[in-house]
Structure 1
């Protein structure tokens, strides 16, 4: 008999796992807040347009069926099959006018995988990457391997433009890249040409590459001009991350790509690094890669135009309804699926912060949203704009009723300028369960 050291199992997760926290999924899976049983739940949380309102392009479905019928389900090159990479290169040229080669394209398992690869490739433990605030949960990938996230501000008073002075002030000797998200989540903002050019100038001055999160590329409302970071850069190397999730309404397909825009052969070493990292998982799904040329080439522009038009109508409806609610200040989006709403908490003294506000909204009105700390931006909550119109209107009516029940008019209270309140820790939240309806 072997010696028994201990009768108890003492197994612990690794530091990598302990530091890897997705605040959205954590809220979804560990909720202690329950909706009002007398009201059907309306969720404004998850940025999945396929839930109850939008559908995939039929041309994409046909391309997948054809690929499944023909595919042999073999191992493919880890950076993606030639036809898929060529299709992405053609897609980029058609949409942005940027000439690239198939060798500049890497096929990945979704846009999230694209970002993760870029982070792991560019930074070592203890080094940092600049990310915007508010922002998508980039820290989920950065903090596990001990890469530091340093945040730069977006200005809500200027349609969420990048605060250039603050961005530059965050750069130090350990900064390895600047991440730019355009069109943005959670703000639904599209950066101006001048704002992007200034960011590029800063990156060039400090010799920093740019990681461009372009998953919402071209998803701007009529009358808004979209500019890509890679399309405007002349000298700064850019890693552009995108995929099928949002514009093609195919989040569950899990296929994305990285496009390497290398102006001066600055990414020579980086390209070798991609080859090595890609050997960890042998590439994305083989059949979806086979279908990618058909998806990208055959999906008509009318599909994109119709999707954007429908989301714009939802966005305008939500904005116009919420702007008339006392105590809330919505910031009108100009693209993507989202709208950020400021809570004038001085008028809701019952709640200490936006987390308690959102929890009470769930408990009383069965309307669910993500509070600002999920995006590193307390004092706000995020609207998702892809639910059916009747549900969106009803959600706004319930929010109006909720605010009327709790609003306190303080005559002496001056209306505050939109600003970022003191940071709240996501880990201290009560978690809000998501219910798909």
Structure 2
């Protein structure tokens, strides 16, 4: 007896499947490249001229990349055609390590550094490796919306601590404290802050870190604007102030070196690494899953961090 052939219902006689977006995206918002940009496009179609400042993208406004960086990327193209180490090429990570030394972030080794396709990818990676469903993350309000979106997408709950416009957008520490629960796992600090432009004094950072210390929180420090400060303000690396806490510092080339399209950033793990060995193993796994970051533009990091800092010409009065 021959086996029967499974009966297949013709597509025309059954209702086709409708492919909806994942429910994981229901509470994920990224309006600066969603409804806001859609409205700008609509206005342009009506003949309006729109200046798009929704994202920090210096190149379209005439802020060109340093020539030396471009030359180095071009020079290294012949040897940058294959995958690199999943954490990044050695020279790039060595340059980041030396930059950490300049900033006063102690105890950083080559293996503590992950090169990524921009800070955005590394934010996702850091939170994916850290958060279980329902874990809470303290985020500034207003914040750069990627942080809230990434927290939500990774199963976490974003708890926004108020930054007071009347106090030059400094964090309201009493409000921050009031948000902490047993499920709070991490605190995010964006300094210099995007979108407010506030630069936190060292005293403020120390108070925030003391709260993190009291509640045993990991600290994620977004420092992508660390070189773009004005009127004598100074940006302090959070990792230089807390050797006893787990600190993840995120930075990259897109703003200070005007190469947002290169998608080149780094994540540095410092401080209480001995209490995060399993988490770091998770970061290594996530880095391996995406194979590596853009190899040609990794060659820009050493020149950018070690060469002439042309950004200083733009941040002085009259720049």
The answer, yes or no, to whether TM exceeds 0.5 is: yes
Q: Give 1:108 shift.
A: 0.9
Gap change, CA 1:7 and 1:173, over 3 Å in 2: same
Separation in structure 2 between the aligned mates of residue 38 and residue 105 of structure 1, nearest angstrom: 47
Separation in structure 2 between the aligned mates of residue 150 and residue 106 of structure 1, nearest angstrom: 27
Separation in structure 2 between the aligned mates of residue 97 and residue 238 of structure 1, nearest angstrom: 10
Q: Secondary structure at the match of 2:159?
A: strand
Q: Secondary structure at the match of 2:65?
A: coil
2:270 aligns to what? 261
1:51 aligns to what? 60
1:307 aligns with 2:314: yes
1:166 aligns with 2:172: no
Separation in structure 2 between the aligned mates of residue 265 and residue 133 of structure 1, nearest angstrom: 31
Separation in structure 2 between the aligned mates of residue 284 and residue 264 of structure 1, nearest angstrom: 23
1:103 aligns with 2:111: yes
| Residue deviations 1:373-425 (CA, integer Å, cap 9, x gap) | xxxxxxxxxxxxxxxxxxxxxxxxxxxxxxxxxxxxxxxxxxxxxxxxxxxxx
Separation in structure 2 between the aligned mates of residue 144 and residue 248 of structure 1, nearest angstrom: 30
Q: Work out whether residues 161 and 192 of structure 1, in 8 Å CA contact, stay in contact via their aligned partners in 2.
A: no
User: Equivalent of 2:20, from 12, 26, 31?
Assistant: 12
Separation in structure 1 between the aligned mates of residue 122 and residue 273 of structure 2, nearest angstrom: 22
Q: Give 1:19 shift.
A: 3.7
Q: Work out whether residues 15 and 144 of structure 1, in 8 Å CA contact, stay in contact via their aligned partners in 2.
A: no
Gap change, CA 1:29 and 1:304, over 3 Å in 2: closer
Gap change, CA 1:67 and 1:234, over 3 Å in 2: same
Q: Give 1:36 shift.
A: 9.8
2:127 aligns to what? 119
| Residue deviations 1:28-81 (CA, integer Å, cap 9, x gap) | 45328526967643334332111123111111111111111333x122221112
Separation in structure 1 between the aligned mates of residue 117 and residue 318 of structure 2, nearest angstrom: 32
2:190 aligns to what? 181
1:92 aligns to what? 100
Q: Give 1:17 shift.
A: 3.6
Q: Work out whether residues 221 and 248 of structure 2, in 8 Å CA contact, stay in contact via their aligned partners in 1.
A: yes
Structure 2 gap ranges (5+) = 1-6
- Structural mapping, 1:287-302, within 5 Å: 287-298=296-307, 300-301=308-309
Structure 1 gap ranges (5+) = 315-437
Q: Work out whether residues 63 and 295 of structure 1, in 8 Å CA contact, stay in contact via their aligned partners in 2.
A: no
1:346 aligns to what? none
2:214 aligns to what? 205
Gap change, CA 1:63 and 1:199, over 3 Å in 2: same
1:385 aligns to what? none
Return 220-229 or 89-98, whichever deviates more. Answer: 89-98
Q: Work out whether residues 107 and 270 of structure 2, in 8 Å CA contact, stay in contact via their aligned partners in 1.
A: no
Q: Give 1:272 shift.
A: 0.7
TM (normalized to structure 1)? Answer: 0.66
Gap change, CA 1:313 and 1:42, over 3 Å in 2: farther
Separation in structure 1 between the aligned mates of residue 203 and residue 118 of structure 2, nearest angstrom: 30
1:148 aligns with 2:154: no
Separation in structure 2 between the aligned mates of residue 74 and residue 35 of structure 1, nearest angstrom: 41
Gap change, CA 1:293 and 1:2, over 3 Å in 2: same
